[in-house]
Structure 1
Amino acid sequence: MTARAIVTGGAGFIGSHLVDALLGEGYEVTVIDDLSSGDAARVPEGAELRQLDIVDLPGLRQIVTEIAPRAIFHLAAQASVVASVEDPGRDCEVNVKGTLNVVEVAGECGASVVFTSTGGALYGDDVPMPTPESRIPAPLSPYGASKWAAEAYVNTWSLSSGIPHAVCRLGNVYGPRQSPHGEAGVVAIFTHHLYTEQSPKLFGHGSPTRDYVYVADVVGALLAASGRSGTYNIATQVETDVASVWSELSNAAGKEIAPRLADLRPGELKRSCLDSSRAERELGWRAEVPVAEGLGLAYEALVAEFESRRG
């Protein structure tokens, strides 16, 4: 019998890459996405799309009961730090209540859950670099707080049910299909600015650092975490500042455009770098794509996407 999997947020950036990988491994895949930020066109042929908000427990239960998946990969989220500050209630509803709904219905059919949490936004500033999972979170934004609360539900339901659920705390993921709209996804945003020859705004005057991890590496980690219990940082353990990202992408574009400098926005971190050694020890996973190489790959793929939309 063919194994079945559900991917919430499967019409999104990371989710659509994960759906591709699951199909490649022979899974029957159902995508649950409300399409508030996802794109139905990203869902590949061979996967089924069910449009639903994960906050809708009866609707979610109906789909999960019908599909009876072996695994649920829970990526659907309110993922904007700025939006979480503006509307923390909605952020909590999606990220906490939505996640509780997922683990509740997963328990009813015995499915394991892999939950994508946040790395940088969870730990806060003034932490050791790279930051291990043992560090007590100190989020600076409602988004980080909601992800931490959601983690607690995932872990509690795993302990109480005996079903292995995993939490993957992701670094700053980038790559093909990333949206250049909104404040998240700096690699896609910068690439679009270069494509349209516009000057970008570098918040924090270009000095904030992040741990940038290529989307294909992240997909490998999520697959490795399925059926396992634990909390894992998924990152490269390399700290890269925003100005360097702009410089690398500018080199890839062969363009010189002076950026505008601005102060950090509320809730944003000054530094972030994650210790992913636990994932290497327990999951046999580590990031394979160096940042410089990944930025070049991302630039080429994103420009091709911009060109196709233009045509």
Structure 2
Amino acid sequence: MKILVTGGAGFIGSQLVNLLLAEGHTPIILDNFSNGRKENVPSGVKIYKKNLLCEKVERIFEKEKPDIVMHLAAQVSVAKSLENPAEDTAVNVLGTVKLLEYSIKYGVKKFIFSSSSAVYGYTSEPIHEESSTSPISFYGTSKLVSETYIKLFNTLYNLPYTIFRYANVYGPRQRSDGEGGVISIFIEQLLRNEAPVIFGDGNQTRDFVYVDDVARANLLAITNADNQIINIGSNTQTSINLLYTLLSNQLHSLQKPNYVAKREGDILHSNLLNSKALNYLKWEPQYDLSAGLDSTVEYFKTKLKNDE
């Protein structure tokens, strides 16, 4: 199938593109390279360097007529969403709506959307897909509103969808600058013998899921889980303090972290039930945190050597 991957040069998107190629699909990338990197993209894959809101995006649909849209591109920074909610809304909500309109106009068969556990806000643990949604950041709100549009496009125009609510995704190629994940940030700082920053007391927990597992969920959604919202997580909780200890031990670092004030918009705990993913996709994580951290650390060690 011909599959348009927005954000396909980014951390998750590029790993998904690799998997789609391996499975015999034809991925096409739409990316503005604000976070994506050209070195992430396999040779021969067609790339359109455009912003989601660019009017020329419609020409891509007209020319390529993709069978599937996998929408991963987004403004992903919680902090930036609080600083500039209008921009966050424009990219994440309006950008999604435009893709939905083009999907209807040009005969897309399915819309697969990368949402976030940020839509839940503060909830009791563990979190299932029917848990209440009450975001505490504009980023989480923009994802939840986008989900609503996707469901309405299905109701009004019969566009099939799968919505994924990701836990904290980590792995090779994740950026440690900007809104990089805590794992990539900690690893690079420890490798440089710098003291990482922990926001709050470090007892907050996160559900970490490895990027290859996330890519595989998207692949499975091509032919499964129509019109479903599905959590993609490990169904385990890891405190930031424990994460720091694991990485410090693995890298033989004696650095002590700096504890600073808690950030606005950060949830306290995250633990996503993944039983629905098993039911609809036959998906469950293949990487536990130990194996995922091993692979991620090796990637960043190699990257640091190459950058020197």
The one-letter code of the counterpart of 2:78 is V
Within the alignment, does 1:105 sit opposite 2:68 as a pair? Answer: no
Query: Is the CA contact 1:113–1:166 (under 8 Å) kept in the aligned structure 2?
Result: yes
For residue 174 of structure 2, what is the aligned residue in structure 1? 178
Displacement after TM superposition at 1:169 (Å): 0.4
Counterpart Cα distance in 2 of 1:11 and 1:309: 20
Within the alignment, does 1:60 sit opposite 2:57 as a pair? Answer: yes
For residue 250 of structure 2, what is the aligned residue in structure 1? 252
Within the alignment, does 1:75 sit opposite 2:72 as a pair? Answer: yes
Structure 1 SS opposite 2:56: helix
Structure 2 SS opposite 1:205: coil
Identity %: 35
Displacement after TM superposition at 1:55 (Å): 1.3
5+ long unaligned stretches in structure 1:
none
Structure 2 SS opposite 1:151: helix
Q: Which runs of 4+ in 1 moved over 2 A?
A: none
Counterpart Cα distance in 2 of 1:151 and 1:262: 34
- TM-score, scaled to structure 2: 0.96
Counterpart Cα distance in 2 of 1:159 and 1:63: 25
* Coordinate RMSD, CA, aligned: 1.1
Q: 2:279 aligns with which of 258, 278, 281?
A: 281
Displacement after TM superposition at 1:207 (Å): 1.2
The one-letter code of the counterpart of 1:153 is Y
Query: Is the CA contact 1:165–1:226 (under 8 Å) kept in the aligned structure 2?
Result: no
Counterpart Cα distance in 1 of 2:174 and 2:114: 16
Counterpart Cα distance in 2 of 1:96 and 1:71: 19
Structure 1 residues 116-131: aligned runs within 5 Å: 116-119=114-117, 121-125=118-122, 127-131=123-127
For residue 38 of structure 1, what is the aligned residue in structure 2? 36
For residue 196 of structure 1, what is the aligned residue in structure 2? 192
Q: Deviations over 1:141-170 (max 9, x none)?
A: 000000000111111112222221110000
Displacement after TM superposition at 1:24 (Å): 0.8
Q: Deviations over 1:143-200 (max 9, x none)?
A: 0000000111111112222221110000000000000102431110000011100000
The alignment of Structure 1 onto Structure 2 pairs a total of residues equal to: 305
5+ long unaligned stretches in structure 2:
none
Counterpart Cα distance in 2 of 1:81 and 1:67: 33
Within the alignment, does 1:236 sit opposite 2:234 as a pair? Answer: yes
Displacement after TM superposition at 1:9 (Å): 0.3
Q: Deviations over 1:42-85 (max 9, x none)?
A: 111121110000112x3111101111111111000000000000
The one-letter code of the counterpart of 1:226 is I
Counterpart Cα distance in 1 of 2:102 and 2:177: 33
